[in-house]
Structure 1
Amino acid sequence: MKLTGIAAAPGYAWGHAFLLEQAKEVERIQLRPEKSTEEVARFTAAVEQAVSQLKELQERTRATMGLDYAEIFESHIMVLKDEEFVGRAKELIVGQLINAEAALSDVTQELVQFFESMDNVYMNERAADFRDISKRLHGLLTGSEQLSLCDLDGPVVLIAHDLTPSDSAQLERERVAGFAANIGGSMSHSAIMARSMEIPAVVGLKNATSSLNNGDFVILDGVKGELLINPTAEQVSAYRKAKETYERQREESKAYLYAPSVTADGKIVELAANIGNPADAVHARNNGAEGIGLFRTELLFMGRRNWPTEEEQFYAYKLAAEAFGGMSPIVIRTLDIGGDKELDYAKRPRERNPFLGYRAIRLSLDERDRFKAQLRAILRASAFGNVKIMFPMIATLQELRAAKALLAEAKADLDAIGVNYRHRMEVGIMIEVPAAALISDQLAKEADFFSIGTNDLVQFTMAADRTNEKLSHLTDPIHPAVLRLIRLVIDNGHKEGKWVSLCGEMAGDLAAIPIMLGLGLDRFSMNAGAVLPARIALSAITAAQTKEMAEAALRMESSDEVRDYVHAIMPHLRELFQIRR
């Protein structure tokens, strides 16, 4: 039997299935009025114990996986200190005279339904956080023993309805060969952690937990996104060979780790990495990246209780610059909040169309003091490396000019107190709004560089929400309509002598790379694991060939036609997809 889901972390794993049990039905008990105070105290004690456990788990995660992953648990701790959650449960205990377990279940159900009803991937994933918190509290209230994944004999293939952040933080390569889940997406917390630990994972399988039993032998294919239950001897043999090939390809790719990024006919291309924190910068450098093409600074603002100070930001930017040192470019994007990225502590009104709403540079230009604090922090960090600054979601010349005016004020602030910074630091913009692409000839006169953000550019161009699975056929970045906009941006940038980069997910798309190079793109910035496959792909083709491919792609009618065309010319790309990590 074979189940098909979403490949969340690449690789192959096999072994006996270990089913992570789901929470049992909650018993509802009616209390006598005089018992409600005692019940509230019992619930409060469980909350305090849960906070203590999460702090310990946070410290363990910080030591083993880094600060970014540990911050996931900070939001859980915040919830346990939030009266809207804890206080609501206490109200139900007293008001309805029910036991703490039932009150917790009711509040959790309300919140999960609320977040899951929202047409927003980030907010949907908050539902998993509340399930995780509730599961922990329920275990403490009932005294039921919590399963510790650290205690597994392993290696097993873990099967769950949904692997929560608390569960996934306990994954260890020696005990868990891979994991599969009924629900989840490629950007869920568990998927991100699995990729960081290089544990193969498949999510979105829908009915994995009901399709097998504990102890069943399974094969997990994290490349295709499949789970085979009780496979035949022939299938086991085939997957052993596939894993050998996969491991060999990954090992061979290391030969390109510090090789130049150059085409077969000698054209040099820069391959940089996208990061979200200083630890990612070290990981990117170790994976062969030649710099940072996009520092997503909003990740420093998320998963915490308040705005980061200027000093905290400066320290993070400085560490990222020092990770590469010298002249390697470090492009730092200013705060890009909104759309599917929100801050729990920034109280903002709910919007009907958040992707088209009050976000990114629009928000920063109104939050002048906070924006200038970030600008000063970036400027100060520029003294420690080749730092460049980039403004997100620019749609008009007026926005660019306003942002540059505030940057000038930030420089004046530092000049007044004698703080050193890179005075000739380049200032660029993201091209992710079709309006910006269409006036890129004007913007190129006032920006030092362009970086094309295809994640938003595609959804705005195609009028298709990139988080909606039903519209995935419209959100392929290699669609000819998107390619024509990208060509316009590159041509207009080059006319003014400005370099053009690409930092959306498209940059790591191996089928898109030769097309982008043929259109004249100067630099690519991608996730760190995509750098080596991209370098290998570039080495196998000439710049002249890419120009021919780009011209042909622009005349095609669909993204499928473009992909089929590229794979026909470069069939080895299919193998390279498998070694991305």
Structure 2
Amino acid sequence: MVTSQQLELLAPLSGVLMALENVPDPVFASRLIGDGLCIDPTSQVLCAPLAGVISNLQHTGHAVSITGDNGVQVLLHIGLDTVSLGGKGFTPLVEEGQQVTAGQALIEFDADFIALHARSLLTLMLVVSGESIAPRGLVSELVESGEPVLCVQLAQVEAEAVTEDLATAAQRSAPQDLPNANGLHARPAAVFAQAAKGFASSIHLHKQDESANAKSLIAIMALQTVHGDSVYLSAAGADADQALKVLSELLASGCGETVRAVTVEPSPVVTSEPVATDVLRGVCASPGSAFGHVVQLNERALHITEFASHAQTESDHLKQGLADANAALQMLCDNAAGKAQAEIFKAHQELLQDPGLLEQAYALIEQGKSAAFAWQSATQATSTLFKSLGSHLLAERALDLEDVGQRVLKLMLGVQDSALELPDHAILIAEQLTPSQTASLDTRKVAGFATVGGGATSHVAILARALGLPAMCAMSHQVLALANGTPVVLDADRAELLLNPAPERIQQLTLQRARQHERQQRDLQQAALAACTLDGRHVEVSANIASLAEAEQAVALGAQGVGLLRSEFLYLERNSAPSHEEQVSTYSAIARIVGAEHNLVVRTLDVGGDKPLAYVPMEHEANPFLGMRGIRLCLERPQLLREQFSAILASADLTRLHIMLPMVTQLSELRLARQLLEEQAQALGITTLPKLGIMIEVPAAALMADLFAPLVDFFSIGTNDLTQYTLAMDRDHPRLASQADSLHPAVLRLIATTVKAAHAHGKWVGVCGALASETLAVPVLLGLGVDELSVSVPLIPTIKARVRELDFSACQTLAQHVLGLESAEQVRAALQPLVQPMTALEY
């Protein structure tokens, strides 16, 4: 006999009701965890929807479960992906095992903090014990905390109890370490419990001396597992063997979450492979990887007196400090390994002569301040201004200003930088490194560094790449809490800092670096060979450059031309525009180096927005990446573009000149720019125009490539911006950078669309973004039909060698396959086996 009754559930907080199917999370939306509802909260206290016992309170405070007297289990989950906050923003008001009444406060939360640091504040109330539910039929989408919102249908079954066959002996799986970054929280626990329910056997999940029914979401969550916990399974029943095998593999795969691979053997006598106890993520500033031990760098505070008696004495003191700093910077310029590094310190010398800084400092001295106090105040005020303007570039220049400021202060105060005693294989950790500190690093001791501040385009990043040091920036502040001597693997290519790595990982890294070095030497010896696939497909491998010195280096390393000359290097970090003569001289010198038999692709001025010019007044923009930049800025100030066209055209007879327009999204922009180019050519008496193309770096341009193709001579794909705009992810964002992957199928599909449109009209397509410099991506780019790869200068021999190892027809098949995949992770996994032929050649 079966009878039923209803239980009323109250709204746990105030807010806007939302149906589960509209929740942007497939596990919750599919009701895999349980049925219920979602509320977008307007209050900040989570309350009990029913009376019962707190059966589970997650240690992170983001989720709580209540079991009513009638056996109904309700899960309350505040926000999406809030488990990663580690408890920040949550204040539990109850404990596990505590009896609570309906409407009682359970958890307070900081809505502002969570909204800034988690994916969403959407809060879920789910019945996880299997009962059916019905909405209360509310007339408004707005609910108040404590208002009835759901009815649960209770069933009371009067029948003989079903007992478990205890005679069946339980079998056990091998122990394995959980790969999930936050253990088995609600989402992976639900996936695991659902899979376990597919087996008839009795199944339990064990952690040390605790165990849980593997078919119960609440029981699994109550284990409070964390990343790296050792767990094992037991099963008793007819399908126990199959259950242990399937569920062990599910645990190893992360139960639906993206995790680092962990090897699992279902044999009861084999233990799992050790994994790192933790991983900290950031943004790659300089590629490479290294093993070493943490050395925390802490800049000591300087003692500065505010007031002084004699203004003239203080003025003389500041002048001497500036002169000494200028001499030290000149020495750094003279000893720099390359022009790019020397230009950084020349820019620092310019800052020492900045009239705005000097006026501020001398004015403060006249007011009775000491030279040191005046200089520090002036540099800090300007640095703060740079950081507040919302520009990545200016924020990075603020670091240069702070570096210069500290240099002058130390010289005026007579403070000597004490020699840092470093162990071998030091991994430096700091809030921030200055360009001066980076340039002075002893690469015999320092294996790499990671900083909280900085960006991938900063001067520190440039210096790190020049020194060959792997480096990461935009790390979380957790990195500053690491103890000196902590063993770590700094894997900048993956943007990960692995703490306490397993010995096997260290050995693997050491062997890998030795092989890479051998391969680099071989690729360098063969740099002059053509980039031709095994079945005869020729691919142009050219260079991305931003100076005459890089042009010379590129040609020496086997570049078949220049696929991207970033002309803005002539315009940035100066107080006035370059003269016509200076531009002509620079473009012509580079053209002569490239030669008449190769392409020189000059990109017109790509500044504005995040890269402002001091002498081109611009309004502050809330979102500079979507603002006045590239061709938009140049067409708004056509004289700027006319002058640049005129200077570029002067080198038309020296090389196969190509001109490329950045950030084009509309055909009208292309037509207007072409008109300006034709007018300048006519004024100079030039009858044959250079080739004109556009960068494909905005999805709009890729999607309209079939309309652009008849009007251009070529396309060049800027994968950095194309990825950023396609995925709506800032590639320098500390939490999103690892996901802003140019191998995402959406980006690859836009590349395929562009190539198809170009080839249909007989036009060639290059890739000048960072993806072209990634060896793993070369097969898919070739397979999509890309004609030219324009790469970072040092990687020219490597990319040419990579092309020579590939079969073009196989690349085409591979490219069609990856276009059908659903994530960048899947694409990388599909491409990884193609790395093996390279590895085999290294022995």
Mark yes or no: TM-score above 0.5: yes
- SS class of match (2:716): strand
Matched residue, 1:546: 811
Take 1:217 and 1:549, find their aligned partners in 2: how far apart are those partners?
Answer: 39
Contact persistence 1:180–1:208 (CA under 8 A)? no
Contact persistence 1:159–1:209 (CA under 8 A)? no
- Alpha-carbon spacing, 1:202–1:308, altered in 2? closer, same or farther (3 Å): same
- SS class of match (1:471): coil
For residue 450 of structure 1, report the CA deviation from its aligned partner: 0.9
Q: Are residue 50 (structure 1) and residue 311 (structure 2) matched?
A: no
The one-letter code matched in structure 1 to 2:772 is A
- SS class of match (2:514): helix
For residue 135 of structure 1, report the CA deviation from its aligned partner: 0.8
Query: Equivalent of 2:574, from 295, 298, 304?
Result: 304
Q: Are residue 270 (structure 1) and residue 505 (structure 2) matched?
A: no
- Alpha-carbon spacing, 1:389–1:545, altered in 2? closer, same or farther (3 Å): same
The one-letter code matched in structure 2 to 1:366 is E
Larger RCO, structure (CA 8 Å, separation 6 or more): 1
The one-letter code matched in structure 1 to 2:393 is Y
- Per-residue CA deviation, residues 327-372 of structure 1 (Å, 9 max, x unaligned), is 1111111111123322233332211221122221122223333322
Contact persistence 1:13–1:177 (CA under 8 A)? no
Q: Are residue 493 (structure 1) and residue 758 (structure 2) matched?
A: yes
Contact persistence 1:295–1:331 (CA under 8 A)? yes
- Alpha-carbon spacing, 1:303–1:442, altered in 2? closer, same or farther (3 Å): same
Contact persistence 1:450–1:499 (CA under 8 A)? yes
- Alpha-carbon spacing, 1:140–1:353, altered in 2? closer, same or farther (3 Å): same
Matched residue, 1:355: 625
The one-letter code matched in structure 2 to 1:471 is L
For residue 204 of structure 1, report the CA deviation from its aligned partner: 5.4
Q: Which has the higher strand share?
A: 2
Take 2:502 and 2:818, find their aligned partners in 1: how far apart are those partners?
Answer: 42
Contact persistence 2:294–2:429 (CA under 8 A)? no
The residue correspondences of 1:168-567 to structure 2 (distance < 5 A) are 168-170=438-440, 177-183=446-452, 184-201=454-471, 203=473, 211=482, 240-415=510-685, 423-472=688-737, 474-567=739-832
The higher radius of gyration belongs to 2
Q: Which has the higher helix share?
A: 1
- Per-residue CA deviation, residues 144-200 of structure 1 (Å, 9 max, x unaligned), is 225689xx9998858463332233344575x66544243334432122123224345
Structural RMSD (CA)? 3.5
Contact persistence 2:494–2:738 (CA under 8 A)? no
- SS class of match (1:110): helix
Query: Equivalent of 1:105, from 376, 394, 417?
Result: 376
- SS class of match (1:525): strand
- Per-residue CA deviation, residues 241-273 of structure 1 (Å, 9 max, x unaligned), is 444323212223235412221222221111111
Moved more, 308-317 or 532-541: 532-541
- Alpha-carbon spacing, 1:141–1:155, altered in 2? closer, same or farther (3 Å): same
Matched residue, 2:304: 27
Moved more, 548-557 or 238-247: 238-247
Contact persistence 1:273–1:293 (CA under 8 A)? yes
- Per-residue CA deviation, residues 208-254 of structure 1 (Å, 9 max, x unaligned), is 777566x9999876666677999999887666544432321222323
Question: Identity of aligned pairs, percent?
Answer: 34
For residue 296 of structure 1, report the CA deviation from its aligned partner: 0.6
- Alpha-carbon spacing, 1:18–1:491, altered in 2? closer, same or farther (3 Å): closer
For residue 6 of structure 1, report the CA deviation from its aligned partner: 5.2
Query: Equivalent of 1:132, from 403, 411, 434?
Result: 403
- SS class of match (1:511): helix
- Alpha-carbon spacing, 1:108–1:456, altered in 2? closer, same or farther (3 Å): same
For residue 119 of structure 1, report the CA deviation from its aligned partner: 4.1
Take 1:20 and 1:308, find their aligned partners in 2: how far apart are those partners?
Answer: 40
Moved more, 179-188 or 497-506: 179-188
Contact persistence 2:775–2:802 (CA under 8 A)? yes
For residue 404 of structure 1, report the CA deviation from its aligned partner: 1.3
Q: How many residues align?
A: 561
- SS class of match (1:84): helix
- SS class of match (1:512): helix
Using structure 2 for the length normalisation, give the TM-score: 0.60
Take 2:780 and 2:293, find their aligned partners in 1: how far apart are those partners?
Answer: 44
- Alpha-carbon spacing, 1:217–1:471, altered in 2? closer, same or farther (3 Å): closer
- SS class of match (2:722): helix
- Per-residue CA deviation, residues 375-397 of structure 1 (Å, 9 max, x unaligned), is 12211112111221111112222
- SS class of match (2:735): helix
Take 2:836 and 2:396, find their aligned partners in 1: how far apart are those partners?
Answer: 36
Matched residue, 2:129: none
- SS class of match (2:651): helix
- Alpha-carbon spacing, 1:237–1:511, altered in 2? closer, same or farther (3 Å): closer
Contact persistence 1:158–1:176 (CA under 8 A)? no
The one-letter code matched in structure 2 to 1:89 is A
Take 2:302 and 2:543, find their aligned partners in 1: how far apart are those partners?
Answer: 46
Unaligned runs of 5+ in 2: 1-276
For residue 101 of structure 1, report the CA deviation from its aligned partner: 2.5
- Alpha-carbon spacing, 1:115–1:326, altered in 2? closer, same or farther (3 Å): same
Query: Equivalent of 1:65, from 292, 315, 338?
Result: 338
Contact persistence 2:600–2:656 (CA under 8 A)? yes
Take 2:510 and 2:402, find their aligned partners in 1: how far apart are those partners?
Answer: 37
- Alpha-carbon spacing, 1:242–1:268, altered in 2? closer, same or farther (3 Å): closer
- Alpha-carbon spacing, 1:94–1:574, altered in 2? closer, same or farther (3 Å): farther
- Alpha-carbon spacing, 1:386–1:561, altered in 2? closer, same or farther (3 Å): same
Matched residue, 1:418: none
Contact persistence 1:23–1:135 (CA under 8 A)? no
Matched residue, 1:572: 836
The one-letter code matched in structure 1 to 2:799 is A
For residue 325 of structure 1, report the CA deviation from its aligned partner: 1.6
Using structure 1 for the length normalisation, give the TM-score: 0.85
Q: Are residue 86 (structure 1) and residue 358 (structure 2) matched?
A: yes
- Alpha-carbon spacing, 1:212–1:138, altered in 2? closer, same or farther (3 Å): farther
- Alpha-carbon spacing, 1:349–1:573, altered in 2? closer, same or farther (3 Å): farther
The one-letter code matched in structure 1 to 2:621 is E
Take 2:344 and 2:392, find their aligned partners in 1: how far apart are those partners?
Answer: 16
Unaligned runs of 5+ in 1: 416-420
- Alpha-carbon spacing, 1:474–1:376, altered in 2? closer, same or farther (3 Å): same
The one-letter code matched in structure 2 to 1:143 is G
For residue 13 of structure 1, report the CA deviation from its aligned partner: 6.6
